[in-house]
Amino acid sequence: MATEPLVVSPASSPPATESATGVGSYFIANYPPFSQWRRDQLPELAETLARPPADRARPLGLYLHIPFCRKRCRFCYFRVYTDQNARDIERYAQALAREVELLNERPAFAGRPLQFVYFGGGTPSYLSSRQLRALRDRLAASIAWEGADEVTFECEPGTLSLDKVQTLRDIGVTRVSLGVENFSDQILEENGRAHLSPEIFRAYDWLRQVGFPQINIDLIAGMVGETDENWTRNIEQALQLAPDNITIYQMELPFNTLIAREMQSTGQAAPVADWPTKRRWVNEAFETLGARGYHVSSAQELVRDPARDHFVYRDQVWRGADLMAAGVASFGHVQGVHYQNLDQLTDYLESLEAGHLPHNRALRISPQQALIREFVLQLKEGRVDPATFQAKFGVNPLVEFAGPLERQQAAGYLSTAGGQITLTRRGLLQVDTLLTEYFEPEFRSVRYT
């Protein structure tokens, strides 16, 4: 889960005809754009938290940001901190638990069961087994996730041991996401990853040995140094592991990555593959994995068994679930109000140590914006059922978005045959470039963050 939004203007997103990978990004994670969230909206957030939920049936999830890493990858854009010692981690864990306690005391969240939990980073698995158990115990004093449908935990392979993997199972994790990214040691090193391939295989064996219901592995198409031959080996190696889920991202270069800074300081072109090549690699992965029994569930994800392998966090957040977010720079959503925490670690810690929630900015969205948000995010899954939107919002997307749907259908990106909206493979591979056309006019050319 991206806890720090990508720095990008939707208007500058690479169109289908653009080739080179430039500095910036086009990955859409929310609506309206993050740049529209403001500090003067914080009273609106406080008032919402102080009221019991208007919609008690709305699912609730918990996002916990663990911002620590062994090293910063050259392509990383998240709010992360390296070289943190045990005392630093202890202070952060205390603040995180205090934040959850304060949030759970607010009427908007109090007494509501969690449907899903997500430990994101950073590297949540940076914490030791002892630290993880202590964090679980602290959180359990104010909130419980034993009945949740899914508890996801992000892991960096080199931070795992059999004991730590068993600890994850013991604290209730049901879905592990392993940040493989690539199986080539040379490419991993060139891109600044902390792990190498032997650690991937050891970690994966431990995960299978302990027996998690779901294991996801992440891959990135277009890392520095990637080739056709190595990409093919990546997909074959992924097939040999046979995880339940495979997530494939296309490499981007947001402004605050080390690679982007090097490009800006030297004037050199991007050292990563162009967009047509990255899309071709992802398409080849879809084809190969599909021929071996995997099913495409979104523009980034494939699953082995669609009836069993669900990503509850994504499915619920993209359908308007409330999200109690805790941790530095985290993003949440409660009863129609988006919010983000303070994005500097010292500010975050001092706020909680003074007994205050660490909120930085917020935005109450209109019913129209809620409609657009859920529509564009669900388009990223490759299909939208207009009847669901008619039932929830009283609006038929086929009518509401007739103009962009007609244009994108004519361009070969989607189909509205049979009253359903279905992206073609071409549309799915570049879906984020299509989404701003559904934005309200005033947000189509503003900075995304």
Q: Are strands 331-334 and 337-341 parallel, antiparallel or unpaired?
A: antiparallel
Residue 37's alpha-carbon distances to 40, 68, 120, 284, in angstroms, are: 9, 26, 22, 38
Q: How many CA atoms lie within 13 A of 416 on its CB side?
A: 18
pLDDT for the residue numbered 223:
92
Its pTM stands at: 0.94
Consecutive H or E run containing 120 = strand 116-121
pLDDT for the residue numbered 13:
45
Closest CA to 447 of 253, 254, 250, 249: 254
CATH of domain 33-316: 3.80.30.20
Closest CA to 91 of 349, 301, 344: 349
Please give the mean pLDDT across all residues of the chain.
93
pLDDT for the residue numbered 9:
33
Count of other CB atoms within 10 angstroms of residue 284 = 15
DSSP letters for 206-271: HHHHHT-SEEEEEEEET-TT--HHHHHHHHHHHHHH--SEEEEEEP-B-TTSHHHHHHHHH-PPPS
Q: Which two tokens stand for residue 10?
A: 């939707």
pLDDT for the residue numbered 434:
96
> In the chain, where are the structural domains located?
1-18+367-449, 33-316
pLDDT for the residue numbered 446:
81
At residue 298, the 3 state secondary structure works out as coil
Q: What is the rounded CA–CA span in Å between residue 243 and residue 199?
A: 16
217-229 burial, b if ≥16 CB within 10 A, otherwise e?
bbbbbbbbbbeee
pLDDT for the residue numbered 4:
34
Q: How far apart are the first and last CA of the chain?
A: 16
CB 260 within 8 A of CB 253: yes
Q: Which two tokens stand for residue 114?
A: 């969690």
Residue with tokens 């032997």: 198
pLDDT for the residue numbered 25:
72
Q: Which two tokens stand for residue 206?
A: 């431990």
Q: Which residues contact 391 (CB under 8 A, 6 or more apart)?
A: none
Phi-psi region of 181 (alpha: psi -120 to 50; beta: other; left: phi over 0): left
CB 61 within 8 A of CB 322: yes
Decide: residue 72, CB within 10 A, 0-12 exposed, 13-18 middle, 19+ buried.
middle
Q: What is the rounded CA–CA span in Å between residue 85 and residue 67?
A: 13
- Cα four-point dihedral sign 231, 236, 242, 244: positive
Give per-residue pLDDT as tens, 362-409: 999 999 999 999 999 999 999 999 999 999 999 999 999 999 999 999
In whole angstroms, how large is the CA radius of gyration of the chain?
Answer: 21
Q: What is the rounded CA–CA span in Å between residue 426 and residue 238?
A: 23
- pLDDT lower than 70: segments of the chain: 1-18, 449
Count of other CB atoms within 10 angstroms of residue 431 = 23
Q: Could you give the strand order of the β-sheet that contains 322-326, starting from the edge strand earlier in sequence?
A: 295-296, 301-303, 245-250, 214-221, 175-181, 150-155, 116-121, 60-66, 322-326, 331-334, 337-341, 359-364
CATH of domain 1-18+367-449: 1.10.10.920
Biggest alpha carbon distance in the chain?
59
pLDDT for the residue numbered 410:
98
pLDDT for the residue numbered 56:
85
At residue 329, the 3 state secondary structure works out as coil
pLDDT for the residue numbered 3:
37
Give per-residue pLDDT as tens, 235-285: 999 999 999 999 999 988 887 887 778 888 888 888 889 999 999 999 999
